[in-house]
Amino acid sequence: MASPDLDSTVRLIQKCMRPDVAAFGDLVEIEVLPVKWRHTTYMGFTLSESDSDLVIFELTGQEFKISKSRLVSKKSIAYNDSVVHRVSEYSKFYSRLHSYWGCEEMPYILSLVWLEYHNHVNEAYEILNFNGKNRGERAWAQDRIKDDFAYLYFNEMLIAWTHDRNYEKALLYGSYLKDSVYSDFEYWDIAKLLNNQLRNNQDDFQKYSLPDSLQWAQKKSLLSREQQIKFLLDRLHILNCVQFFQPGGVNYSQVQTNVPVSRVLQDTSYNDFWEIFMPYQVINPYNELIEMDLELSEVKILLPHLLDSSFIPTFSYHRDFLSSRVLYRYDWVVENLVFNATNRRLLSNDYFWSFTYEEKKAELKKIEVWCGLNEKVPEEERLVKIIKETDNYAEFNLALRTAGNKRYTSIIPGLENRIVGEDNMLNETRKISVVQWIVNHDTGRYLETVHRIDDYLVAKIPHCKKYDKYVNDQMLLYSSLYLIKYDSSNDKSYEYLKLVLTDEESGQNRYIQAVPFLLSIKDDKAFYFAEELLTALSLEEKYISSELDVALQILLLNRSEKALRYLEMNLSDTSQANKKDWISDINKLDDSYCEYYFNLINSWRSEPILCCAPTDKKAFLKCCKKQQKWLKEQFELIKAGEHSEIEDHLLTMPVYYGFVDSGN
């Protein structure tokens, strides 16, 4: 592979590069004290320094400030320290600040120009050849270099606006992208539009400032419902949703703050990530509009806002080190509100966004007419029709959610037809959530419907392939549990449930789903069936869960001798847990069964036993015997109808299924 030309490569980089890295002084390595969600070592150039702060231009091309209170060390990297090696090692850990497409290349690009400017030509060639060898022959291609800078500037522009609310900085990066050298950049047109919008609307966060919940409660008491809607619609212009995790996206319902997100993330006084937002929280206008449960007659207030295609301070990506960025628009949020109010995708799919202004107005007129024709139709009737007829899964899913929130169980006959029939929209996996919806929302009114679904699922078992059988069994689990609850005299449902739970592939994993549900039913037969299931369960394929913890306590409080014997037996079991567990490392039972049960029971005690490490087997088994003795004492109290520590602990658990009945 021929080496790229140093002079032409440097000239192109200098044309793209802002600021002039070549003229910078020493390359420095800076170590800082660790802070939550922050890295500790940086490499780059010092832009400025004061008594309290350092401003660094980091090797991935990003400028940031470091408080000297966090500074541990700052040292120059000499040319004879093998700059190439240091840069290549640093580029492996490129997610120092904001990752973007090209951030792994940028340390090579910037150090190349810097070395060449300071007449260290041999080292510059070393960088040139090293990166070409390691990154492939396109590493120094001109279009790739231009793209690396373009993605850097666009990403920094978005972050300056959405994370920092820093319009000056965002406009600065936007000005870099105006150069025609980037005319082939995929987001060039968007960057120009955003640049114009930011220049003309630099007071958005002041103009549309959001009240906190108390302020909003006071304000909306003085406004009519229409005025409230208009007030909230205006404030959607500053809906500021930030993607914190990847892969993923953003959610319009995300917490909103009265300061930039970058300021919130500097707060180190909280252990939980989301807790840090609480002191800065204000209302989310999107959430408020959803909670208003807009009527069809109110949709006409939303429609004119679908003509506003300005950007909002929200963007997302699949992975931050990949090229794709989605900058959200105001009309997208409004369309989502129209969808939630109507339960219909009334716009002409994706075509609407490419329509001319007049074409959009004509389309909105059609929606207004549709709303007028349907506003007198009861919502439940409209949802029943959607469930029966729609071939759009988004419509179906929203109708299902809305019906669930409002307890509209009259949609269930339509759901039956979807489950038992051939349905191109509802694949088998989606049908699981439909059966689960019926179990969660119906209270026995549609018993015969669920019996038919149950029989249909059982009849399918012999014809199912491996994955289809898994899905079919999951639906059968839900339908059988429903029938056990609402038709307890029918033994057929227990037989169906046994079919699901004895499946060699995945039956045992469903025990933890079935047992809590069975224990929540005030029925002796269901209770004893759950007791039998749980105490017969091998630990080898089971993972730690709050459901298991709660279920064992409920069994004990209902005087289950089997549960007591089960716990006593496992407190004596020193065999090792199965290392083939498919659950993630955090859930693996890494040591012995008795250690797991010792710790489980210890959590129930008001005064836990302080015990030696289980590596001292003899001493640890003595501790387990103490635990057995305590357990027996507590069980005798329960049998005598007296108060126990187990009952105190159960009431503190996040999942509490009840069924504590002294008469059981």
Q: What is the pLDDT of residues 70-87, one digit of tens each?
A: 888 898 887 766 777 788
pLDDT at 88 over 90: no
Render 307-353 in DSSP notation, one character per residue.
Answer: G---EEEEEE-S-TTSS--EEEEHHHHHHHHHHHHHSS--S-GGGGG
Select from 163, 157, 161 the least CA-distant residue to 263: 163
Around Cβ 504, how many Cβ atoms within 10 Å? 6
pLDDT at 401 over 80: yes
User: How does the average pLDDT of the chain come out, rounded?
Assistant: 85
Residue type at 426? L
CB 51 within 8 A of CB 68: yes
What average pLDDT does this structure show over 240-262?
Answer: 93
Confidence (pLDDT) at 303: 97
Sort 162 into a burial class: Cβ within 10 Å, 0-12 / 13-18 / 19+. buried
Confidence (pLDDT) at 578: 44
Confidence (pLDDT) at 35: 63
Select from 501, 502, 527 the least CA-distant residue to 516: 527
What average pLDDT does this structure show over 550-562?
Answer: 89
Q: What is the pLDDT of residues 421-457, one digit of tens each?
A: 878 888 888 999 999 899 889 989 999 999 999 999 9
pLDDT at 414 over 70: yes
Confidence (pLDDT) at 134: 60
pLDDT grade for 610, boundaries at 50, 70 and 90: confident
Q: What is the pLDDT of residues 126-170, one digit of tens each?
A: 888 876 666 666 668 888 999 999 999 999 999 999 999 999 999
What average pLDDT does this structure show over 590-613?
Answer: 78
Q: What is the pLDDT of residues 615-626, one digit of tens each?
A: 677 788 888 899
pLDDT at 577 over 70: no
Q: Give 650 or 139, the one with higher predicted confidence.
A: 650
Confidence (pLDDT) at 541: 41
Q: What is the pLDDT of residues 52-65, one digit of tens each?
A: 999 889 888 988 88
Confidence (pLDDT) at 205: 94
Q: What is the pLDDT of residues 471-501, one digit of tens each?
A: 888 899 999 999 999 998 888 889 888 888 8
pTM: 0.82
pLDDT at 589 over 80: no
pLDDT grade for 559, boundaries at 50, 70 and 90: very high
Q: Give 288 or 355, the one with higher predicted confidence.
A: 288
Percent of the chain with pLDDT over 70: 87
pLDDT at 368 over 90: yes
Confidence (pLDDT) at 67: 86
CA dist 445 → 255, 378, 433, 442 (Å): 39, 21, 19, 7
Confidence (pLDDT) at 95: 47
Confidence (pLDDT) at 511: 75
Confidence (pLDDT) at 39: 58
CB 161 within 8 A of CB 167: yes
Residue with tokens 């049908």: 431
Select from 596, 595, 605, 607 the least CA-distant residue to 631: 605
Q: Give 5 or 663, the one with higher predicted confidence.
A: 5
pLDDT at 272 over 60: yes
DSSP three-state, residue 654: coil
Around Cβ 310, how many Cβ atoms within 10 Å? 14
pLDDT at 192 over 90: yes
CA dihedral of residues 462, 463, 465, 470 (deg, nearest 10) = -60
- Give the range among 306-310, 565-569, 634-638 with minimum mean pLDDT: 565-569
End-to-end CA distance of the chain: 82
- Give the range among 149-158, 168-177, 316-325, 511-520 with minimum mean pLDDT: 511-520
Confidence (pLDDT) at 302: 97
- Give the range among 2-16, 87-101, 429-443, 602-616 with minimum mean pLDDT: 87-101
pLDDT at 328 over 80: yes
Which tokens sit at 579? 């290392």
Confidence (pLDDT) at 550: 82
Confidence (pLDDT) at 576: 52
Percent of the chain with pLDDT over 90: 47
Region of residue 255 (left: phi > 0; alpha: psi -120 to 50; beta: else)? beta
Cα separation of 416 and 404, whole Å? 16
- Give the range among 209-213, 281-285, 581-585 with minimum mean pLDDT: 581-585
- Give the range among 126-130, 137-141, 216-220, 228-232 with minimum mean pLDDT: 137-141
Confidence (pLDDT) at 374: 96
Sort 221 into a burial class: Cβ within 10 Å, 0-12 / 13-18 / 19+. exposed
Confidence (pLDDT) at 128: 83
